[in-house]
Chain A
Amino acid sequence: MHYESELREPLILGDKTYHQITEDICRPIEGKANKWWWIAFTIASAALLWWIISVSYTVGTGLGVWGLNKTVGWAWDITNFVWWVGIGHAGTLISAILLLFRQKWRLSINRSAEAMTIFAVICAASFIVSHMGRPWVAYWPLPLPNQFGSLWVNFNSPLVWDVFAISTYFSVSLVFWYSGLIPDFAAVRDRAKTKASKFWYTILSFGWTGTAKNWQRFEELSLVLAGLSTPLVLSVHSVVSMDFATSVIPGWHTTIFPPYFVAGAIFSGFAMVQTLLIITRKVLNMEDYITIYHIDMMNRIILLTGSIVGVAYLTEFFIAWYSGVEYEQYAFINRATGPYWWAYWSMMTCNVITPQLFWSSKLRTSVFATFIISIFVNIGMWFERFVIIVTSLHRDYVPSSWAMYHPTWVEVGIFIGSLGLFFVPFLLFTRFFPVIAMSELKTIVKSSSSQAKKKGADNHGH
């Protein structure tokens, strides 16, 4: 049996037995949805509907319905793609990297963070497909034999790397998430009262019973998938950043992009985890499992990655000056003082200044402050991608082709709609899937719950 110092913050509050954990986590699945869930679901469905209309209109009419022009060829589409992919990164960091580092506080949040990853990557992929304009030829980036003179894809191109990176990332995350869900589905199955839920959870649980050999293999699978996902998640956003960094556009052609993008991705992802979990823990009464300590730990990561992002912004500016290349210098001066200055300073305020507030432990442990700051970070990270993409493109080498970019209602619709594409599955997830990995959480009841710590203190006689 493991002992843990009583001085360490408990990870599970209240008098929880194994059975109580099962009860608490299965309750949202077995009970009826409350009013707030239905309100959220209705709004999300309306947004999803708007997404369907906007995407259909784009595909049916052509990319001309967007605000792109011959100077600004990428704008909201790729901004949203990078934003969503970045958000996904926190889920993998929590479930894979924190597993390798044996951080037990991941256990209450890994399931929902991974769900967030899956749905966020779906949203990201939807932007790649819709920005192609002709989605029925979306298979062209795949290395398939063809009749165009056997014209193969160019494996030297980061856009092709991206196809491999995103599809590997999505499918591996899905397998990692689902294999973790199987034992919990078995618990739901064995408790099921109705015939229909018994039937569905029997299928979902793959006939899992939890024999010693299966648990041994299960733990090996989790560990190795975590080991594979860790370099994978770092590679995904590095490859995304190389879509920009390997070009010759001033403002994009930057060697610090890969680490800077990865840090930004984790930063924005944790902000989204906070936004989601602060609401989820309240609505589903999970405050004993997702505690202030968990929120504090995630805020520390936001503070760290936010600071890395801040240093990266300043480094870019310094290097632009130090390079002596006037195009490079102009790109950055134009970012801060040109027509898109408001986007640049929104980004600086939200991403560099707001996370620094988390040096205060009072704000770090305040649910309200965390929620507000997490929204700021989400907005700031969206602006970061907008600033990088649009301000670098809109004034190119030839001043006669300088242009401004204005989104149309279609692009706004696809972006707002993609929030629906994200929240509809996420809300369904909170209703039908166990939102906390209960089989994993039960392994720390005897060492890290507040009850065990009280017992430990009594036994030691101090």
Chain B
Amino acid sequence: MATKKVYGIFEDDDVVLEAVKTLRAKKYNVVDVISPFPIHGMDPALGLKRTRLSICTFLYGITGTSLAFLMMYYMNIFDWPMDIGGKPSFAFYKNMPAFIPVTFEFTVLCAAHGMAITFFLRSKILPGVEPHVIDDRMADDRFVMTIEAATGAEAEDAKAAMTAMGALYTKD
């Protein structure tokens, strides 16, 4: 079934948030709101699930921790143990306190970059991506509500409903 997207352009964040709540209660399929800044309370109003980005970050972080420990064990304990200043590197557990700074930094490095890369890929924002700009001021002071309608008649109805909720104008 081909669906049709219609857009309502609003001028205030409180108005658009109220409109999302009302129109969703009236069973309109409100799929998205584009805004120039994050709107507090928009995620529950749209029924968005919590992002799992931080779970990924945790996994990247512990990967970093393990890699750092493994690397230092291999290089300084296993492959080429050195005795510097009468402090030999012969046992991992004895050296571990000195290995903590690098482990911490590498954990942060992997967690932060892994998270950022996941964010960019998952949100499909990368250099060269052409933005779908619906209104020239949607990153400035306008809010774009997107409703998916099944038929042409439903689309017209959705547009009228958005106008009734205070939309400045609507478009296909």
Residues of A within 8 A of B132 (CB): 209
Q: Is the CB of B113 within 8 A of A18?
A: no
A225–B113 Cα distance when bound, in Å, is 9
**With A191-B136, A205-B131 as contacts: A217 and B105 at CB distance below 8 Å:** no
B35 contacts A161, CB within 8 Å? no
Nearest CB in chain A to that of B125: its residue: A206
Q: Are A206 and B14 in contact (CB under 8 A)?
A: no
Q: Is the CB of B101 within 8 A of A164?
A: yes
Main secondary structure of the interface of A (DSSP, over half): helix
Interface residues on B, range: 35 or more
Residues A172 and B109 in contact, CB atoms below 8 Å apart: yes
Report the separation of the CA atoms of residues A164 and B105 in the bound assembly, to the nearest whole angstrom.
Answer: 6
Q: Is the CB of A213 within 8 A of B48?
A: yes
Cβ of B38 and Cβ of A218 under 8 Å apart? Answer: yes
| Docked-complex contact B138 and A210, CB < 8 angstroms | yes
Is A220 within 8 A of B51, CB to CB?
Answer: yes
A208 to B, closest residue via Cβ: B125
Q: Which residues of chain B come closer than 8 Å to A172, judged between CB atoms?
A: 108-109, 112-113
The answer on a CB contact under 8 Å between A171 and B109 is: yes
Q: Is the pair B138, A190 in contact by a Cβ cutoff of 8 Å? A: yes
B104 within 8 A of A: yes
How extensive is the interface on chain A, given as a class? 35 or more
Which residues of A from 168 to 210 have beta carbons under 8 Å from B? 168, 171-172, 175-176, 179, 182-183, 186-187, 189-191, 202-210
B116, A179: Cβ atoms under 8 Å? yes
- Tell me, in angstroms, the Cα distance from A151 to B61 when the chains sit together: 28
Within 8 A of A (CB), among B29-57: 32-40, 42-43, 46, 48, 50-51, 53-54, 57
| A160/B123 contact (C-beta < 8 A), A155-B75, A218-B38 known | no
Which B residues lie within 8 Å of A231 (CB)? 104, 108
A269 CB → nearest B CB, Å: 20
- The answer, yes or no, to whether A337 is at the interface (CB within 8 Å) is no
A207 and B131 contacting across the interface, CB-CB below 8 Å: yes
B-facing mask of A222-237, CB < 8 A → 1, else 0?
0011001101100100
Q: Which 8 residue pairs across A and B have the least CB separation, nearest first? A: A207-B129, A18-B141, A152-B75, A187-B139, A206-B125, A164-B105, A161-B101, A215-B38
> What is B's interface to A at a CB cutoff of 8 Å?
13-14, 32-40, 42-43, 46, 48, 50-51, 53-54, 57, 71-72, 75-76, 79-80, 82, 84, 87, 89, 95, 98-99, 101-102, 104-106, 108-109, 111-113, 115-116, 119-120, 122-133, 136-141
